[in-house]
Amino acid sequence: MTGPGRPAPPLARSTLDRAAHRRADREWLDAAWPTARVLVVDVAGGGRALVTTAPDHPRLVLLEPKVAPDTTADRRLFLGVEPDGVAVFAVDAPLPEVPDTRGANLRQVGHLLSDRDAGLLTTAVALANWHALHAYSSLNGLPTTVSDGGWTRLDDGGRQVWPRTDPAMIVLLNDGVPGPDGRCLLANNAAWPPAGDGRRFSCLAGYVEPGESAEAAVIREVDEEVGLPVSGIEYQGSQAWPFPGSLMLGFHARADPARAMRLDPAEIAAARWFTRPEIAAVLAGEQVSVGDGRLVLPPPSSIAYFLVRRWLDGTNLGP
So what's the pLDDT on residue 316? 46
Task: Judge whether 166 and 209 are in contact, CB under 8 Å.
Answer: no
Any residues with CB less than 8 A from the CB of 284 and at least 6 apart, and which?
none
What pLDDT is stored for residue 315 in this prediction? 57
- What pLDDT, on a 0 to 100 scale, did the predictor assign at position 193? 87
CA distance 146 to 89: 14
- Specify which residues 141 forms β-bridges with: none
Per-residue confidence of the chain (319 residues) as pLDDT tens digits?
Answer: 444 456 889 999 999 999 999 999 999 999 999 999 999 999 999 999 999 999 899 999 999 999 999 778 889 999 999 999 999 999 999 999 999 999 999 999 999 999 999 999 999 999 999 999 999 998 889 999 999 999 999 998 889 999 999 999 999 999 999 999 999 999 999 999 887 889 999 999 999 999 999 999 999 999 999 999 999 999 999 999 999 999 999 999 999 999 999 999 999 999 999 999 999 999 999 999 998 889 999 999 999 999 999 999 985 444 3
CA distance linking residue 96 with residue 65, whole number of Å: 13
Is the peptide bond preceding residue 244 cis, with omega within 30 degrees of 0? yes
**Spatial separation of the C-alpha atoms in residues 133 and 285, rounded to whole Å:** 39
How high is the pLDDT of residue 6? 65
- Residue among 105, 230, 238, 115 at smallest CA distance from 166: 238
User: Rounded distance, CA 156 to CA 6, Å?
Assistant: 47
**Domains in the chain, CATH or no CATH each:** 20-161 (3.90.79), 166-312 (3.90.79.10)
Rounded CA-CA distance 293/164 in Å is: 38
In this prediction, residue 156 carries a pLDDT of 87
Count Cβ neighbours within 10 Å for each residue of 1-38 and write b for 16 or more, e otherwise. eeeeeeebbbbbbbebebbeebbeeeebbeebbeebbb
Cβ atoms of 21 and 29 closer than 8 Å: no
Contact 227, 307 (CB under 8 A): no
176: which residues sit within 8 A by CB, 6+ positions away? Answer: 182, 232, 254, 317, 318
Could you give the CA distance from residue 93 to residue 51 in angstroms, rounded to a whole number?
Answer: 15
Helix and strand numbers, DSSP H then E, in the chain: 6, 16
30/59 Cα distance (integer angstroms):
27
The SS3 call for residue 276 is helix
Alpha carbon dihedral 23, 26, 28, 34, in 10-degree steps, equals 110
Handedness of CA 163, 167, 80, 119 (dihedral sign): negative
Question: Is residue 183 within 8 Å of residue 177, measured between CB atoms?
Answer: yes
Distance of alpha carbon 131 from its chain centroid, rounded? 17
Nearest to 169 by CA among 71, 92, 235, 101: 235
Query: What pLDDT, on the 0 to 100 scale, is given for residue 317?
Result: 43
Q: Are 44 and 170 in contact (CB under 8 A)?
A: no
